Amino acid sequence: MVSSGVVSHSFRILPPNSLAHLQKPKKIGESQCCAFPLLQLSPFLRKDFTSPWGREALRTRICASFTDISLDVSVEDNKLPRGETWSVHKFGGTCVGSSLRIKNVADIIINDDSERKLVVVSAISKVTDMMYDLIDKAQSRDESYISLLDAVLQKHSSTAHELLDGDDLASFLSQLNHDISNLKAMLRAIYIAGHATESFTDFVVGHGELWSAQMLSSLIRKNGIDCKWMDTRDVLIVDPTSSNQVDPDYLESKRRLEKWYSLNPSSVIVATGFIASTPQNLPTTLKRDGSDFSAAIMGSLFKARQVTIWTDVDGVYSADPRKVSEAVILKTLSYQEAWEMSYFGANVLHPRTIIPVMQYGIPIIIRNIFNLSATGTKICDPSVNDDEDRQNLAYFVKGFATIDNLALINVEGTGMAGVPGTASDIFRVVKDVGANVIMISQASSEHSVCFAVPEKEVKAVAEALQSKFRQALEAGRLSQVQVIPNCSILAAVGQNMASTPGVSATLFNALAKANVNVRAIAQGCSEYNITVVVKREECIKALRAVHSRFYLSRTTIAMGIIGPGLIGSTLLEQLRDQAAVLKEEFNIDLRVMGIIGSKSMLLNDVGIDLSRWKELREEKGEVANLEKFVQHVHGNHFIPNTVLVDCTADSIIAGHYYDWLRKGIHVITPNKKANSGPLNQYLRIRALQRQSYTHYFYEATVGAGLPIISTLRGLLETGDRILQIEGIFSGTLSYIFNNFKVGRTFSEVVSEAKEAGYTEPDPRDDLSGTDVARKVIILARECGLKLELSDIPVESLVPEPLRVSASAQDFMQQLPKFDQDFAKKQQEAENAGKVLRYVGVVDVIKQKGVVELREYNKDHPFAQLSGSDNIIAFTTTRYKNQPLIVRGPGAGAEVTAGGVFSDILRLASYLGAPS
């Protein structure tokens, strides 16, 4: 009893369901909570003290009864605790697919140190399908619904036995059996009626969630934690809409939630996902991805700290990892980005799931239940998150998504411009057909409107448009209703694209470099996404190209090495040694996907381990097949750029360059055959190369690693005029004449050159002057001269009788027989105080070339060479009095492979690698 004379008291009035508490005084801070005579309070106990007016009424009444005391009445009911206290988790069907997994879920909840937790749970995996199947079977009068219902019972009963025991188990099984016998009766009624209403169906299917929620909450309780389960049909009120969706009634749901909580206060609540009630209290569902939606709505009703959606992936990827194996998990996404990504088919969340949490800035975390070490993806409001999040969100383009199986419809004609209502007419037709428009693009000339629809709907749309616009088409006001089939959409999504110049330029540049043609483009002024339509068969290539370009993966190039001979294998060594530096410092990832010789080849899907490619070739090599090789390197892998490096001396291989370039495969080679072969073949390649974004580099064909082609290009491209190019172009012949001195034999020196790797695979190509003639032709054509190899007079050093030797080996064996003849020539020059040098000349003015052995004074620059030095003198309009001279070793494995390697890096830089 309250004693008189006490100045102040606080009264803690518990809600109506807690009458028992009113009997005992409880200490609240400094004040006393006293029990009132039940009778005095009873009229109020039926009132709602949670509202301000209710409290005021209570205060007035109490003060009226106890005039001599001042009362401080604070009403503490079991009000829903708010703010940052609740953390919401959602577990889908696979997360609760077995008793073991349900235990795992319970552990996650128990280990979450949030003050309060709300767990939204789906039915055990496949149970919802079974429940729908029950309905289908019953309404189609298939008796097997009975055994299926039995299977449902067995599944839950055995899971419960594995999880629970004692009273918990008994009470769950009793409820389960009760539900099953109810369902049996309902299904029988459906069976007889041959029909199930929507709410009957929704009532039946929702049982999966009811059972999983009860089992999980019992299991959590078994671990000593206060936990209640919630049938969300008592709380969540939604209005079904015409488009098979539902609109949550937040106000009513909130009211019911507060009531529910006041009756069931608890720090852990396990709620059923997917199910809800209509305003008329009929059972309903939240439709597709309903449990995610339940979690999001609950998150907003509880004003939760965060909502975690547990799934079986590590988070949201920057692109579909089945298409881009280098896709990365995004640490953060803004709500809008997640929204866009899900629209474009990324497996993120249904867009509607984002709406309820977005208004309160509640983050959604996507996490993998099977990989707890992965932190997942946080979908949040960038403006209210910490600096780290803001930094992560600062990427311009977050991710890429694609939609396949689309067709474009292009309605075109001069009669459309300036005619109000045309677009409205077009899209009314599309609506009447019931087709969904995925994107729209109209150029401001208003001569055409183009839009994408699902491929399966295009025929109907096109026919309806033809019919609607028949008159305009016949009169020529419209020229066509064109259907472009087999299209895909590629969307780049990123909130920070907005107002950032250059993002779309980079995107289109990447597409151009991957040789992908863009059919249509759309970008709304929100700038959250750029959408392009491409051919379906090019979509994955396009996706990989743009993904790679935005640094989500490195500048990656798939390489195929053809001809792992001296130069090819040296190149492979150099690639091996430099790979790490290129990756780390220059962001260039070179992957050798295949190596092919004339007999065998080695292929690998992710890149050959270059430290053991020879062993691997022994173990895993297969019979060489060039077509298969090219298909492997270029097709069906995750790398957008392909280069074939031809390190053979084969003209048949060179004959493939045109086709490869046409397919968008870049070509790099030290092989001179293509550029010095038939003129028309050369001109075709060059014309193609100029039209496309595919690159063809061949620096090592002249002067090996020396910058000859690039120097010549630099002169030409900057407007200089080449008058003459004269030089010693053969490393082999340079070596021979630098070392063929008194006391040495000619054949001995030739063998040394061969040993040193200076000669062509067949040294006769060097001695005959053919190799030099090829270089002269390559340079002459570079200068615009239209010469064939046969136009170059060549002085051959191959003795007449050996020109028809069967093999290179045979030739080398026979050569000593002719040493005397060479010694004589050498002596004659020596006597004249001169040296012999084998030179090539391109005379641009006279439009001809020549290759011959010439005598030079000993003080001539050509006489100063050593080793395999080449020397090339460019006489040009700018370098007229003193030619521009490039000099250095012009043959040998290291320098040649180095020249090829630098072409590869030039390609990487053209493809976007940082320079």
Ligand X SMILES: N[C@@H](CC=O)C(=O)O
CA atoms within 13 A on the CB side of 777: 25
Q: Closest distance between ligand NDP and the C-beta of residue 705, in Å? A: 8
The entry of Na ion, ligand X, ligand NDP, none near residue 596 (CB within 5 to 8 angstroms by kind) is ligand NDP
Contact region with ligand NDP (CB under 6 A), list: 216-224, 313-321, 642-650, 721-729: 642-650
Listed ranges 243-251, 352-360, 644-652, 823-831: which one lies at the site for ligand NDP (CB under 6 A) = 644-652
Residue with smaller CB distance to ligand X, 506 or 902: 902
Pinpoint the alpha helices (H) of 720-858: 731-739, 746-755, 764-767, 770-782, 808-814, 819-831
Question: Quick check: 731 binds ligand X (CB under 6 A)?
Answer: yes
Cα radius of gyration (the chain): 40
> Which structure tokens are listed for 16?
């109506």
Beta strands in 494-579 (DSSP E): 518-523, 529-535, 555-562
Q: Which does 653 bind (CB under 5 to 8 A by kind): Na ion, ligand X, ligand NDP, none?
A: ligand NDP
Residues that bind Na ion (rule: CB under 5 A) add up to a total of: 4
Among residues 330, 380, 700, 815, which is the contact residue for ligand NDP, using CB under 6 A?
A: 700
How many residues would you count in the chain? 915
The partner residues of 307 in beta bridges, in order of sequence, read 88, 364
Smallest distance, ligand X to C-beta of residue 704, A: 5
Write each residue from 766 to 805 as x if it is in contact with ligand X (CB under 6 A), else as -, in one continuous string: x----x----------------------------------
Q: How far is the CB of 844 from ligand NDP (least distance, A)?
A: 24
C-alpha closest to that of 362 among 149, 567, 86, 15? 86
The residue behind tokens 């003015």 is 845
Q: How far apart are CA 786 and CA 678, in angstroms?
A: 10
- Label the pairing between strands 600-603 and 622-623: antiparallel
Which of 265/769 has CB closer to ligand X?
769
Catalytic residue among 775, 786, 817, 848: 775
758 contributes a contact to ligand X by CB under 6 A: yes
Report the alpha-carbon distance of residue 456 to residue 699 in Å, rounded. 51
Site for Na ion in 693-732 (CB under 5 A): 699, 703, 706, 708
The backbone torsions φ and ψ at residue 498, rounded to the nearest 5 degrees and listed phi first, read -55, 130
Choose, by CB under 6 A, the member of 759, 805, 826, 876 that binds ligand X: 759
**Residue 881: count of CB within 10 angstroms of its CB:** 5
Give the burial string for 251-278 (b: 16+ CB within 10 Å, else e): ebbbebbbebbbeebbbbbbbbbbbbbb
| Element at 311 (helix H, strand E) | strand 306-311
Q: Hey, how many other C-beta atoms are within 10 angstroms of the C-beta on 756?
A: 16
Residue 699 binds which entry of ligand X, Na ion, ligand NDP, none, CB below 5-8 Å type-dependent: Na ion
824 touches which of ligand NDP, Na ion, ligand X, none (CB within 5 to 8 A by kind)? none
Which of ligand X, ligand NDP, Na ion, none sits in contact with 732, Cβ below 5 to 8 A by type?
ligand X
Whichever of 426 and 708 has its CB closer to Na ion, that residue is 708
Sequence-separated (6 or more) residues with CB below 8 Å from residue 80: 257, 258, 261, 302
Q: How many residues bind ligand X (CB under 6 A)?
A: 11
User: Which residue in 648, 675, 734, 870 binds ligand NDP (CB under 6 A)?
Assistant: 648
Cβ proximity of 273 and 290 under 8 Å: yes
What part of residues 571-600 is at the interface with ligand NDP (CB under 6 A)?
A: 596-599
| Binding partner selected for residue 730 from ligand NDP, Na ion, ligand X, none, CB under the kind-specific 5 to 8 Å limit | ligand X
Looking only at residues 546 through 575 of this chain, which bind ligand NDP when binding is defined by CB under 6 A? 562-568
Taking the complex as a whole, how short is the minimal distance between the CB of residue 749 and ligand NDP, in angstroms?
Answer: 16
Interaction residues for ligand NDP, span 211-270 (CB under 6 A): none
Please name the amino acid found at residue 600.
S
Q: Which amino acid is at 84?
A: E
State the binding string over 678-697 for ligand X (x if CB under 6 A, else -). --------------------
In DSSP notation, 536-591 reads: GGGHHHHHHHHHHHTTSS-EEEEEEEE--SHHHHHHHHHHHHHHHHHHHHH-EEEE
Q: 834 catalytic, yes or no?
A: no
String of contacts with ligand X for each residue 864-893, x by CB under 6 A: --------------------------xx--
Minimum CB separation from Na ion for residue 845, in Å? 24
Does 760 help bind ligand X (rule: CB under 6 A)?
A: yes
Q: Are 525 and 491 in contact (CB under 8 A)?
A: no
Q: What is the spatial distance between Cα 302 and Cα 85, in angstroms, rounded to a whole number?
A: 9
Contact call for residue 389 and ligand X (CB under 6 A): no
Residue closer to ligand NDP, measured from CB, 640 or 670 = 670
Is 538 among the residues that bind ligand NDP (CB under 6 A)?
Answer: no
- In the complex, what is the shortest distance from the CB of residue 708 to ligand X, in angstroms, rounded to a whole number? 10
730 lies in the site for ligand X, by CB under 6 A? yes
Q: Does 732 bind ligand X (CB under 6 A)?
A: yes
Place of tokens 């040009």: 876
Q: Closest Cα to residue 889, out of 734, 736, 713?
A: 734
Least Å distance, CB 815 to ligand NDP, is 19
Tell me which stretch binds ligand X (CB under 6 A): 402-410, 454-462, 726-734, 844-852.
Answer: 726-734
- Token pair, residue 595, equals 């190596």
Rounded Cα gap, residues 898 and 578, in angstroms: 11
Rounded to an integer, what distance in angstroms lies between the CA atom of residue 538 and that of residue 640?
A: 10
Looking up tokens 């078994």 gives 222
Hey, which residues does 283 pair with through a beta bridge?
277
> Of residues 336, 641, 671, 770, which one binds ligand NDP by CB under 6 A?
671
- Tokens 């293509």: give the residue: 674
Q: Looking at the DSSP assignment, which residues form a beta bridge with residue 481?
A: 411
Identity of the amino acid at 871: I
- What secondary structure letter does DSSP report for 820? H
Tell me which stretch binds ligand NDP (CB under 6 A): 24-32, 432-440, 606-614, 646-654.
646-654
The tokens of 278 are what?
Answer: 């209509």
SS3 776: helix
Residue 13 is encoded by which pair of tokens? 């009035």
By CB under 6 A, the count of residues binding ligand NDP is 30
Binding residues (CB under 6 A) for ligand NDP: these are: 562-568, 596-599, 647-650, 652-653, 670-672, 700, 704, 731, 757-758, 760-761, 891-892, 896
Please give the positions annotated as active site.
Answer: 775
Binding residues (CB under 6 A) for ligand X: these are: 704, 730-732, 758-760, 766, 771, 890-891
Binding residues (CB under 5 A) for Na ion: these are: 699, 703, 706, 708
